[in-house]
Structure 1
Amino acid sequence: MAKAFGFVDYGGPETQEFLDRPVLEPGPGQLAVAVRAAGVNPVDWKVRRGLLGRERQLPFVMGSEASGVVERIGPGVTGFTPGDEVFGLVAAGAYAEQTLLLAGSSALKPAKVGFDLAATLPVAAATADDAVRDIGLGAGQTLLILGVSGGVGSAAAQIARSRGINVVGTAGDSNRGYVESLGAVQVRYGEGVADRIRAVAPDGVDGILDLIGGEDARAAAVTLADRARLVSTTDPVTAQELGGRFITRSTTPGTLAALAELVAAGELDPNISARYPLAHAAEALALVESGHARGKLVLEVS
């Protein structure tokens, strides 16, 4: 049996508990992995609350991304062998001692990149990379990131800056120093945000990455001339209403390998703000659910 953390019913934190589940055997296109680290993301609590559907079989193990060591490979899998250090998207929950990775959304971990850093890449960094590419700005143009201090925003700011794109990001004033460390200009969110954006970008912005949605997106959109360059990761309805679109995802082994190489080269810092043992998974998830987590949180599995 392997220890895992999940929920037994849809709802709040009271539905979470530790579970014992059998060691999993990989199916076609899967890798059985001994987990070393797992990323903690907002999508995890949204799944538990049933905000992304209620069709999952319960109990359900939480977590979308993990890193670890390959134990066995499933039918049809090539490019991986037992003993490989890997990271990727999971097929059976990441908050666990052992799980299954999707081979088509996994990559070999470079030796220079720790398991903790690798575990942060498949969701937040890969989403950021897809979004920056989807918006399609060039060097010298200005990207506005709504909610820049979170995991996706932090990665997107760094990826955009590495391509010569100027970055403005909304965040609380307490995060000003952190946002500036990403190479971005911080603008306080809330009432009057459009005026504050124009104060640092008098000609408006060339693209918006929306990580918040709702009224925040509507208030900021007036600073963008070409609404087709508004991409949202969180609110497809508002994005479409404003003339933008929801993000197009394409997490491939090549994308993940490229992101890991950026980390190895020191060009991308996942900004892990806290590490928790698996036994403290509830505490880590509560911080992310509060909306006050900076950067990325990671569960480490011994």
Structure 2
Amino acid sequence: MKAAVFNQFGGAEIMEIKRVPVPNLEKNQIRIKVMAAGLQPVDVKIRSGFFKDMVIDSPQLLGNEFSGIVVEVGSDVISVSKGDHVIGWTTLSAHAEYVVINANQVVKKPSHMSWEEAGALSASGQTALMALDGIHISNGDTLLIHAAAGGVGTMAVQLARSRGIKVIGTSSEANHDYLRRLGAIPIKYGDDLVDNVKKLVPEGVDAALDAAGPEALYASIKLVSSNDRIITTASRHLIEKTGVKTVVGERTQARLYQLTQLVEEGLLQVYVRKAFDLEDAVEAHREVETGHGHGKVVFTINQ
């Protein structure tokens, strides 16, 4: 099968399309023809060598979320059938024509979702859901979300709004209208962020989600009274020093099903910024590396 791979750490230009073996199918697993797969910032970080102690395969695949069609089921599988349209997750293997995973790593795709939208739901959606649960937000709270227009941020804004939470979202001014459409109050990031947030919400901020990096995390510490109501997905190396939380927990079928139900109810939408053919992996990685725009970058595969 074709897959987007790399053999050593480096820039986007090292991505290439190679043929790799289709994984074997165990009796409790399913084989899925991938129709779309999200490209996340973490994929780009892995390829670049950001995680210094990480050992990679040669060739190394990427990709943790996908949508597709079940083409084969193991002998012990009863919950999924051949031909089912599904959304699922995997670990560093989705950017390929096929994935093989356990049957409990997928849910049915809502019929009205495009393949691209469905392929970008699982990773950012589950991360955002675990982040909000980790800081125990509830109706009436005010939540500050950094990088609110990004993949995790977009999900977190909508999930928080569905719970009756007031959301302040940081982004570039180019994405302010987008955040307003999601239901957030936009604010520009920068050196005067703390003062501007205080002016915007004099009553204060109850909790914060940092999906941007250290500057955003330290701004949150100045704005939120308790560090255990601050959670980060982008500054994990600072959690011991600061006492804030990071996202913990396993991705689960139940959590993914919860997300698809919110999609069905019109409370959650996946916004695809740009879709690339798998053969254009270099350009896709460069797009994610810009850090601009809103929503998700997605590969279209087998279409």
TM-score computed with the length of structure 2 as normaliser: 0.93
Equivalent residue for 2:170? 170
* Distance 1:193-1:72 versus aligned 2 partners, 3 A rule: same
User: How far apart, in 1, do the equivalents of 2:241 and 2:187 lie?
Assistant: 24
Aligned residues: 301
Equivalent residue for 1:35? 34
User: How far apart, in 2, do the equivalents of 1:62 and 1:92 lie?
Assistant: 4
Contact 2:10 2:49 in 1 (8 A): yes
User: How far apart, in 1, do the equivalents of 2:28 and 2:246 lie?
Assistant: 28
Residue 41 of structure 1 and its aligned partner are, at CA, apart by 0.6
Contact 1:127 1:249 in 2 (8 A): no
Equivalent residue for 1:59? 59
- The one-letter code of the counterpart of 1:203 is E
Residue 15 of structure 1 and its aligned partner are, at CA, apart by 2.1
- The one-letter code of the counterpart of 2:98 is Q
**Comparing both chains, which one has the higher relative contact order based on Cα–Cα distances under 8 Å and sequence gaps of 6 or more?**
2
Equivalent residue for 2:47? 48
1:17-71 alpha-carbon deviations (Å, 9 max, x no partner): 1111123222365321111111111011111123234322110122111111112
Residue 166 of structure 1 and its aligned partner are, at CA, apart by 0.5
Residue 230 of structure 1 and its aligned partner are, at CA, apart by 0.5
1:239-278 alpha-carbon deviations (Å, 9 max, x no partner): 3323211111332111111211222222111111212222
The answer for unaligned runs of 5 or more in structure 2 is none
Contact 2:3 2:61 in 1 (8 A): yes
User: How far apart, in 2, do the equivalents of 1:14 and 1:298 lie?
Assistant: 18
User: How far apart, in 2, do the equivalents of 1:234 and 1:135 lie?
Assistant: 16
Structure 2 residue 155 is the aligned partner of structure 1 residue 150:
no
Taking the TM superposition and a 5 Å limit, the aligned residue runs for 1:1-302 are 2-27=1-26, 29-52=28-51, 53-74=53-74, 76-91=76-91, 93-301=93-301, 302=303
When structure 1 is superposed on structure 2, of 130-139 and 274-283 the one drifting more is 274-283
User: How far apart, in 1, do the equivalents of 2:75 and 2:122 lie?
Assistant: 23
1:146-201 alpha-carbon deviations (Å, 9 max, x no partner): 11010100110000000000000111112111111111111111101100111111
User: How far apart, in 1, do the equivalents of 2:117 and 2:73 lie?
Assistant: 23
User: How far apart, in 1, do the equivalents of 2:245 and 2:152 lie?
Assistant: 17
Contact 2:70 2:86 in 1 (8 A): yes
* Distance 1:19-1:170 versus aligned 2 partners, 3 A rule: same
Contact 2:31 2:72 in 1 (8 A): yes
The answer for unaligned runs of 5 or more in structure 1 is none
Contact 1:287 1:293 in 2 (8 A): no
Q: Give the percent of matched residue pairs that are identical in Structure 1 and Structure 2.
A: 34
Residue 102 of structure 1 and its aligned partner are, at CA, apart by 4.1
User: How far apart, in 2, do the equivalents of 1:238 and 1:78 lie?
Assistant: 44
User: How far apart, in 2, do the equivalents of 1:85 and 1:210 lie?
Assistant: 34
